[in-house]
Structure 1
Amino acid sequence: MRLIPLALVLAPLAMAACSAAEEPASAPAEVAASVAPAAPAVPAAQTSDPALGTAIATVLGDDAENTRSVVRIVGEGPGRIALVYLVGMNWCGSGGCNLLILRPGPAGWEQVGNVSRVSNPVRLLTTSTNGLPDIGVTVSGGGGPPAYEARVSFDGTTYPRFPSDEPLVGAEGSVVITDADIPPPSE
């Protein structure tokens, strides 16, 4: 079985960025309702930014061809970040997959987080910490407790590697990544 190379995933994103309208991302109702408060979906931010593609490819290294990903750019100005949900043998386990977080820097996009054991949906919360948005991630599997949502916050240098073990309750935000957004494996 062969997975979609990163270039094939990013090319449609670049083309979609040129289209006149964007479709909102939405979570399957039963998944979103079970772990997160109801919130409207945020339109899927698309990018044709080659520097972002380069930064993602650098993180993936030799595994780029075997990784599927969902890329969302959220926030504005200095609070702008890219959320990259990585799906592949080297990025997923029984507790979920990795969520790579990048922000624009002087030399291009820089990694400010690589959160492990993340399941979908992923939400952009209305709060921020140290100038970057807080993110609600679903934690499940891995022999742990039933699925719950946890907040990951920027500490001034990075987002935490592992989500909090404390459930997030009543935080407002919008769904930005769902399982439905993950491209299917190539044959």
Structure 2
Amino acid sequence: MYALGPDWCGSAGCTLFVFKGSAEGYELLSKTTIVQLPLAVSAQQTAGWKDLIVHAKGVGDVVLKATNQGYPLNPSMQPQATAADLEYSQQLLNYQQP
């Protein structure tokens, strides 16, 4: 879930929540702050979860790799996405100017 609004967004981006299904419904897997769109799912996976590609202000497109604790909190500290990462990913969300 890509949260919008003043409670979840700042000048560097918004908060991305990733949930996983459980017997009780949905359970929060992780929260990543200062995420900018577009959001894409990579063909690669880490720790049983697909890698995510997001835009980080001042860095460009980066790859978020899951760990046992979820996805990283800060995308600007992650490795840049390669041309191959981008080519073999599927875009989920993109910003549409109103």
Q: Which runs of 5+ in 2 are unaligned?
A: none
Q: 1:167 aligns with which of 63, 80, 84?
A: 80
- Listed one character per residue, the Cα deviations across residues 129-173 of structure 1 (whole Å, up to 9, x for unaligned) are 111111001011xxxx3x511111110231111113431112020
Q: 1:157 aligns with which of 52, 69, 74?
A: 69
How far apart, CA to CA, are the structure 2 residues paired with 1:119 and 1:88? 13
> 1:27-46, aligned counterparts within 5 Å?
none
- Listed one character per residue, the Cα deviations across residues 1-43 of structure 1 (whole Å, up to 9, x for unaligned) are xxxxxxxxxxxxxxxxxxxxxxxxxxxxxxxxxxxxxxxxxxx
Tell me which protein shows more strand as a share of its residues.
Answer: 2
Q: 2:34 aligns with which of 117, 121, 131?
A: 117
How large is the RMSD of aligned CA atoms in angstroms? Answer: 1.7
Q: Secondary structure at the match of 1:128?
A: strand
> TM-score, with normalisation over the residues of structure 1?
0.47
Q: Secondary structure at the match of 1:179?
A: coil
Please tell me whether Structure 1 or Structure 2 has the larger radius of gyration of its CA atoms.
1
> 1:38-187, aligned counterparts within 5 Å?
84-140=1-57, 145=58, 147-163=59-75, 164-170=77-83, 171=85, 172-180=88-96
How far apart, CA to CA, are the structure 1 residues paired with 2:49 and 2:22? 13
Shift of 1:108: 1.4
Q: Secondary structure at the match of 2:81?
A: coil
> TM-score, with normalisation over the residues of structure 2?
0.86
Question: CA 1:178 to 1:160, structure 2 compared with 1: closer, same or farther past 3 Å?
Answer: same
Tell me which protein shows more helix as a share of its residues.
Answer: 1
Contact persistence 2:63–2:78 (CA under 8 A): no
Contact persistence 2:17–2:30 (CA under 8 A): yes
How many correspondences in the alignment?
94
Structure 1 segments (4+ residues) deviating >4 Å: none
Contact persistence 2:19–2:29 (CA under 8 A): yes
- Listed one character per residue, the Cα deviations across residues 31-83 of structure 1 (whole Å, up to 9, x for unaligned) are xxxxxxxxxxxxxxxxxxxxxxxxxxxxxxxxxxxxxxxxxxxxxxxxxxxxx
Shift of 1:106: 2.3
Percentage of matched positions with identical amino acids? 22
Q: Which runs of 5+ in 1 are unaligned?
A: 1-83
How far apart, CA to CA, are the structure 2 residues paired with 1:106 and 1:157? 19
